[in-house]
Amino acid sequence: MSKTQTLPDFDWDKADNRGFGSGYSTEERNRLSELYDNTLAQVNEKEVVIGTVVGITDREVILNIGFKSDGLVPASEFRDLPDMKIGDEVEVYVENQEDPNGQLVLSRKKAKVITAWQKIQRALDEDLVIEGFVKRRTKGGLIVDIYSIEAFLPGSQIDVKPIRDFDVFVGKKMEVKVVKINYANDNVVVSHKVLIEKDLEAQRQQILNNLQKGQVLEGVIKNMTNFGVFIDLGGVDGLLHITDISWGRISHPSELLHLDQKVNVVVLDFDEDKKRISLGMKQLQAHPWDSLQEGMQIGSKVKGRIVNVADYGAFLEIMPGVEGLIHVSEMSWSQHLRNPQDFLKVGDEVEAVVLTLDRNDRKMSLGIKQLTADPWSRPELVEKYAIGTKHKGVVRNLTNFGLFLELEEGIDGLVHVSDLSWTKKIKHPSDFIKVGEELEVIVLELDVENRRLALGHKQLEENPWDTFETVFTPGSVHRCTILSKNDKVATLELPYGIEGFAALKNLQKEDGSWADVGETVDFKVIEFSKDEKRIMLSHSKTWQEKGEDRKPEKRAATVAKTPTSSKEPERATLGDLDALAALKEQMEGRSSKGE
């Protein structure tokens, strides 16, 4: 930059009075010209120089920069200097040494911009701290004025802790450091956080050096998550896990704590390498189990709130930090309560009985069903469920060997699969009935001591096989439908809905073809077993014996042959017909009941 130079002393006595500038020799003229040139500063265009205010008008400010002419700058460019006066020095930018009017063109605005960028670059190169003015908030941060240049201060660079309200900084001064310059976009990024981090480093190191387990510290909650809160201990963060906030159960830290809250915590653990600090708050209070009532013992009744429900049971909170487990088997006398969530839910207020209590291990088991009498201990049970008594119950569970029927809460009985039907061969109870449906039964066996109750459904009716013995006599012929076939035998549907069986070789027809599934043809009984409830039949016998005897054999779909004659079939007697009619009516009645 150039400054205005003063004119050196000159011996005016030597000047010729014949006229100004005349009477000089060439040598004297060159000397005078050299002296004059030395009084002018060397001014180059496109650079910033120092100028002296020599005149001020309403519209312009006149500046002398040591050039052969003064420059004019609009007064609007000096609004930030309301107290400016003649003689003050300011920086100006030389735009043009001489415009078409011969005037020196200067600009203070451009000088300020160029000087500002030079200062910003110097601040970045030398890692200097500069002061800025926060002008406004923008997306993701703040706009800071430094040397009249707008710089961006990201939200993450304002402070070491998260900032939720940027507006509190608007209109205030703030010290920052330049961290990035992009001249292509005239973009400057600054940071205030780096200043804080340096100030906190010494404090952080001091805390880490003196940190030890059991130490109680004061901190401020800076962040909150589902699993806990992060606490600023003065430059170093520690984690307060949700399980260490309170002796009682909480679902979220916000139930007891809030952001920016000051809390006292104790150091539970410290990993010096990873600089991880585990903190606790509930440890500063006595454990609730230590204040548990001395009078509480096994058999005592307690009240509380359900705080958790698992697959195996529910936890009842008697007081904050004191919980007991209600196992699913202790919720009801019913043996079919499988899911605790069907019985209890979080928040329920319930009463329970203490079943076990261990103060040393701080464990307690509770029961709800003990609040009511055990149904198996009632004295009238033996008479109510005596053998031969009839009852109705709800199917609660199905197994391969039978079904469990709930007659009342806590009283269940087993119906074996073989006791469901006299006539149908049931492979699985689901083929006969569904869970939740009602079933009428009769008590077959009662064992109160072992809590066992054997029930039967088919025993509600007489054994139809006593009548079948007189209907499906060996040699009688019946109209049957083939239901299915396997590698060895075919299953047949006989009259009255019962099943019979035929060997595959006995399915051959008279024309040489074979009877198939779905066909209805005549079959002759070749074997009847009442004890095993098995009837064996043959279609081939119906036409083979016709060919041998050359006699038409009487069909007996509903007529039984008497075993008195092995050669000639006889018609059914009147008594047999009456028995069959009664049996048919009885079985149709069973079908209408949904068996």
Contact in structure between 437 and 430 (CB atoms under 8 Å) = no
Q: pTM of whole model > 0.95?
A: no
> Which domains, and CATH codes, for the chain?
47-111 (2.40.50.140), 127-197 (2.40.50.140), 211-284 (2.40.50.140), 300-371 (2.40.50.140), 379-456 (2.40.50.140), 471-538 (2.40.50.140)
Stretch among 62-66, 134-138, 472-476 having the lowest mean pLDDT: 62-66
pLDDT for 375 equals: 83
DSSP 291-333: GS-TT--TT-EEEEEEEEE-SSEEEEEEETTEEEEEEGGGS-S
pLDDT in the model for residue 554: 43
Rounded to an integer, the average pLDDT of 21-27 is 61
CA dist., res. 234 & res. 218, Å (int): 9
Among 16-20, 42-46, 324-328, 554-558, name the one with the lowest average pLDDT.
554-558
pLDDT in tens, 336-359: 666 788 788 888 899 999 999 888
More confident of the two residues 52 and 45: 52
Per-residue confidence (pLDDT) for residue 556, from 0 to 100: 42
Mean pLDDT, the chain, rounded, equals 79
Average pLDDT over every residue of 396-411 = 87
What letter represents residue 364's amino acid? M
pLDDT of residue 355: 92
Distance, CA of 564 to CA of 230 (rounded, Å): 100
Please give the structure tokens belonging to residue 238. Answer: 């520690």
The pLDDT of residue 95 is above 90: no
Q: Which pLDDT tens digit goes with each residue over 287-343?
A: 788 777 777 888 888 999 998 888 888 999 888 888 899 998 888 877 666 678 878
Nearest residue to 471 (alpha-carbon basis) of 563, 588, 580? 580
Q: Is 355 helix (H, G, I), strand (E, B) or coil?
A: strand
Q: Which amino acid, residue 208?
A: L
pLDDT for 33 beyond 80? no
Evaluate whether 346 touches 382 at the Cβ level (below 8 Å): no
The string of pLDDT tens digits covering residues 174-203 is 888 888 888 878 788 998 888 877 766 666
pLDDT computed for residue 1 by the predictor: 45
- Cα–Cα–Cα angle for 304, 306, 307, nearest 5°? 115
Cα dihedral across residues 78, 84, 86, 87: positive or negative:
negative
